[in-house]
């Protein structure tokens, strides 16, 4: 009995231990002596650019709700209530672009994004209202073991008169987590890489102080005898020669006083090299190609297009899959999941130059897997009517099945083709098939004569 009790206790311990929402991002002081938070990190141009590139990319992609047809093809489910919410207007105050941009920014800074799901009496979704990720805690109910969301509401929130903690059920929150350790919550990239970001902040602060001193290094004022009022001399010196306004002023030293600089200059400290390295370091955190945040030092026209395609495949696509699966899991019921799905359209980002696209379309037309209207739809052009062949799929007439390769030189095959032509009456001599067979007959007659000439 004790053996089975231990197993049950271990299972319960495992379930209760899945409460990663209690772990808070440890921003704080870094090894470089700088205090890092999500707001201080966003003041770095590299972090701001990375967050902006990813959030705007996710927000600008076409986002639709689709449903499978009886033939298992797909079509946009424009009549479904969720289609308008995801594609156009998640709530009364935001467009779909702004909502997705805000949610993606929350994921990149805090590791998670949360939106409150508002439903009507039928269970249909009416709106998605974003919640601040830094005020949300994910935990489990002690009695039921189900996931709950605790939100610290303040007076700044709508319809909140006093500060309180609001408990949401799992069905009431659309939660999109980033990279995490327990599968429940994501961890903040800023907190995980705070030391790298702290070095970048330290470099920026050092450069600011350097130019605030008039681009002159600090130093020591020496005097051959004892100085009584040191603080007063320091204050007078700084008021005359510190700051951009006092740059290049001439100092006059009296009574044998000397100024001796003691600080190393930025070139000796490799100040610029450190700043460049931290730019790539921050881009590495978010997996952003350097040229997309303004660093073109190692980029060229030959590799820039390839880096952009790698950004779509290895950086953007994993984030889109997180979005799609989280939305399908929380916003579609079990019956709808069989027939409906959401999908970002990446065609616009994956398209090559005009010449490459035209070559690809030509291959699609000749091999019968694309119609003219399929191509015009990809190029945002008006469709051609059916009676003019807009939806016609065609193949090259010179192509034969592999098993019939060389069949023309088979006597049985030639006899089977020539026999029906002999039985045709004169009324059908002008048909296309008769003309084609007549051409074939003439070819059969001429071919031996050409061989004899050789």
Half-sphere exposure of 242 (CA within 13 A, CB side): 11
pLDDT of residue 453: 37
Q: What is the pLDDT of residues 109-132, one digit of tens each?
A: 999 999 999 999 888 899 999 999
pTM of the model: 0.70
What is the pLDDT at residue 438? Answer: 47
For residue 307, name the pLDDT band (cuts at 50, 70, 90). confident
What pLDDT band is residue 9 in, cutting at 50, 70 and 90?
very low
Q: Identify the band that residue 101 occupies on the pLDDT scale cut at 50, 70 and 90.
A: very high
Q: What is the pLDDT of residue 452?
A: 41
Q: What does the angle CA 388 – CA 393 – CA 397 come to, to the nearest 5 degrees? A: 105
Tokens 């909502």 sit at which residue?
A: 99
- Is residue 353 classed exposed, middle or buried when 0-12, 13-18 and 19+ CB atoms within 10 A define those classes? exposed
When the pLDDT of each residue in the chain is averaged and rounded to a whole number, the result is 78
pLDDT tens for 327-380 read 999 999 999 999 999 999 887 677 666 777 888 888 888 888 888 898 888 887
Confidence of residue 42 (pLDDT cuts 50, 70, 90): very high
Residue 450 has pLDDT above 60, yes or no: no
The length of the chain, given as a count of residues: 454
**What is the pLDDT, as a whole number, of residue 436?**
45
Q: In the prediction, which pLDDT does 390 show?
A: 87
Specify the pLDDT at position 419: 56
User: Six-digit token pair at 22?
Assistant: 């209690």
Q: Are 371 and 390 in contact (CB under 8 A)?
A: yes
Could you write out the three-class secondary structure of the chain? CHHHHHHHHHHHHHHHHCCHHHCCCCCCECCCCCECCHHHHHCCHHHHHHHHHHHHHHHHCCEEEEEECCCCCEEECCCCHHHHHHHCCCECCECHHHHHHHHHHHHHHHCEEEEEEEECCCCCEEEEEEECHHHEEEEECCCCCCEEEEEEECCCCCCCCCCEEEEEEHHHEEEEECCCCCCCCCCCHHHHCHHHHHHHHHHHHHHHHHHHCCCCCCEEEECCCCCCCHHHHHHHHHHHHCCHHHCCCCCCCCCCCEEEECCCCCCCCCHHHHHHHHHHHHHHHHCCCHHHHCCCCCCCHHHHHHHHHHHHHHHHHHHHHHHHHHHHHHHCCCCHHHHEEEEECCHHHHCCCHHHHHHHHHHHHHECCCCHHHHHHHCCCCCCCHHHCCCCCCECCCCCCHHHCCHHHCHHHHHHHHHHHHHCCHHHCCCHHHHHHHHHHHHHHHHHHHHHHC
Q: Check pLDDT > 70 for residue 290.
A: yes
pLDDT higher than threshold 60 for residue 96: yes
170-179, 313-322, 348-357: least confidently modelled range: 348-357
Query: Cα 148–151–153 angle (5° rounding)?
Result: 155
Confidence of residue 405 (pLDDT cuts 50, 70, 90): low
**pLDDT of 11-41, one tens digit each?**
343 344 444 445 555 666 776 778 888 888 8
CB distance 19 to 180 below 8 Å:
no
**423 to each of 189, 410, 445, how far by Cα in Å?**
81, 21, 19
Which residues, 6 or more positions from 449, have their beta carbon under 8 angstroms from its beta carbon? Answer: none
Averaged over 395-412, what is the pLDDT? 65
CA atoms of 138 and 146, how far apart (whole Å): 11
For position 7, what pLDDT does the model report?
A: 37
Interatomic CA distance for residues 450 and 100, integer angstroms? 72
Weakest mean pLDDT among 167-181, 197-211, 223-237, 262-276: 262-276
439: pLDDT confidence band, cut at 50, 70 and 90? very low
Residue 176 exposed, middle or buried by CB count within 10 Å (0-12, 13-18, 19+): buried
> Residue 114 has what pLDDT?
96
Rounded CA-CA distance 393/369 in Å is: 7
Q: pLDDT tens, 151-164?
A: 998 877 767 777 88
- Among candidates 188, 193, 205, which has minimal Cα distance to 44? 205
Judged against a pLDDT cut of 80, whether residue 149 lies above it is answered with: yes
pLDDT in the model for residue 3? 47
415's CB contacts (< 8 A; 6+ apart) are none
Question: What's the rounded Cα separation, in Å, for the pair 56 and 59?
Answer: 5
Q: Is the pLDDT of residue 407 over 80?
A: no
């Amino acid at each position: 009995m004790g053996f089975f009790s231990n197993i049950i206790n271990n299972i319960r311990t495992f379930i209760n231990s899945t409460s990663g929402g209690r772990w808070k991002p440890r921003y704080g002081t870094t090894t470089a002596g700088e205090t890092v938070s999500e707001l201080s990190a966003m003041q770095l141009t590299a972090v701001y650019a990375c967050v902006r590139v990813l959030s705007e990319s996710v927000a600008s992609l076409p986002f639709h709700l689709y449903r499978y047809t009886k033939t298992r093809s797909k079509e946009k489910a424009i009549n479904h209530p969720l289609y308008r919410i995801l594609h156009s207007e998640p709530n009364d105050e935001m467009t779909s672009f702004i909502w997705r941009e805000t949610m993606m920014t929350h994921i990149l800074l805090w590791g998670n994004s949360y939106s409150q799901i508002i439903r009507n009496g039928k269970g249909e979704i009416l709106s998605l209202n974003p919640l601040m990720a830094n005020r949300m805690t994910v935990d489990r109910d002690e009695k039921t073991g189900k996931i709950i969301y605790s939100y610290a509401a303040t007076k700044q929130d709508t319809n909140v008169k006093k500060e309180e903690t609001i408990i949401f059920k799992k069905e009431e929150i659309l939660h999109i987590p980033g990279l995490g350790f327990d599968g429940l919550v994501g961890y903040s990239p800023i907190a995980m890489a705070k030391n790298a970001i702290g070095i970048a902040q330290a470099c920026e602060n050092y450069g600011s102080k350097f130019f605030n001193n008039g681009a002159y290094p600090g130093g020591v004022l020496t005097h051959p005898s004892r100085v009584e009022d040191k603080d007063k001399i320091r204050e007078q010196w700084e008021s005359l020669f510190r700051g951009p306004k006092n740059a290049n002023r001439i100092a006059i030293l009296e009574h044998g006083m000397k100024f001796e600089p003691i600080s190393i200059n930025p070139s000796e400290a490799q100040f610029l090299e450190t700043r460049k390295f931290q730019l790539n370091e921050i881009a590495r955190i978010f997996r952003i190609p350097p040229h997309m945040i303004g660093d073109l030092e190692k980029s060229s026209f030959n590799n820039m297009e390839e880096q952009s395609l790698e950004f779509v495949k290895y950086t953007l696509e994993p984030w889109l899959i997180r979005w799609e699966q989280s939305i399908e899991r929380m916003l579609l019921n079990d019956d709808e999941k069989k027939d409906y799905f959401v999908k970002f359209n990446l065609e616009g980002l994956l398209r090559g130059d005009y010449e490459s696209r035209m070559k690809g379309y030509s291959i699609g037309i000749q091999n019968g897997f694309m119609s003219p209207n399929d191509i015009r739809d990809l190029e945002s052009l008006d469709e051609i009517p059916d009676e003019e062949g807009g939806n016609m799929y065609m193949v090259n007439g010179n192509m034969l099945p592999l098993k019939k390769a060389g069949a023309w030189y088979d006597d049985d095959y030639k006899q089977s083709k020539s026999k029906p032509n002999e039985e045709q009456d004169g009324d059908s001599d002008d048909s296309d098939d008769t003309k084609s067979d007549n051409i074939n007959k003439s070819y059969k007659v001429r071919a031996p004569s050409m061989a004899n000439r050789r």
